Amino acid sequence: MSKFITLEGVDGAGKSTHIPTIANLLRAQGKEVLVTREPGGTPLGEKLRALLLHEAMHPETETMLMFAARREHLEQVIKPALARGVYVLSDRFTDATFAYQCGGRGVSADKVRQLETWVQDSFQPDLTLLFDVPIAVSTQRLAGARDPDRFERENGEFFERIRQAYLARATDFPQRFRIIDSGKTLKEITKKLEEIVLSI
Ligand code: TMP
């Protein structure tokens, strides 16, 4: 049986570093794995990503474009792969919208839930790995980034609200969330990921 696994965390939490590790652990178990990302994952989604990361816009416009990209992603990539028995690893999904647009930008969670139902019906990830780290650490990691995008340029308070919104999601959906302490060493994190992958 295929599984839809999502990876979440504030910018600079280090999740992207660990995606190849998770994919390789699954492949070592004989699973076929597709790695994808949001916003993006389709040709149109990647064009929307460029707009989302670089063009100023109203927070609700931002929210709707995230879901427009997601609609394409679900239809063209995620659902067909799952139907073929492939494990799908997505670097971000709808929890990011609740964290960034609701927590970070203050968009109404009710509106986002309506869009979620419209775009996904009851479809949800089977497993969500939340890479959690204090904002002082993630902003330090981001400080070295060249050419930061609209999100990466935001201040520590914005990211603190996002972090808290993610942690609240993890409390609300404990059956699918696993929190990874991203402040730990690479070795410790890899060990934790191995445990999680083995338990799937
Ligand atoms: P990335 O840097 O992890 O690839 O993500 C791009 C940015 O998009 C990141 O700063 C988080 C943001 N984002 C949202 O604000 N809402 C969303 O729904 C998604 C999927 C990403």
Query: Tens of pLDDT along 71-102?
Result: 999 999 999 999 999 999 999 999 999 999 99
Q: For residue 17, give the 3-state DSSP assignment.
A: helix
Task: Answer yes or no: is the C-beta of 92 below 6 A from any ligand 1 atom.
Answer: yes
Task: Answer yes or no: is the C-beta of 112 below 6 A from any ligand 1 atom.
Answer: no
Give the pTM. Answer: 0.97
Q: Average pLDDT in the 178-187 region?
A: 96
Q: What gap in Å lies between CA 56 and CA 175, rounded to an integer? A: 36
Instruction: Compute how many other C-beta atoms are within 10 angstroms of the C-beta atom of residue 166.
Output: 26
Closest ligand 1 atom, CA of 38?
20
Task: Answer yes or no: is the C-beta of 15 below 6 A from any ligand 1 atom.
Answer: no
- 29 contacts 197 by C-beta, under 8 angstroms: yes
Q: How far is the CA of 99 from the centre of ligand 1 (A)?
A: 10
Ligand 1, atom 10, residue with closest C-alpha: 151
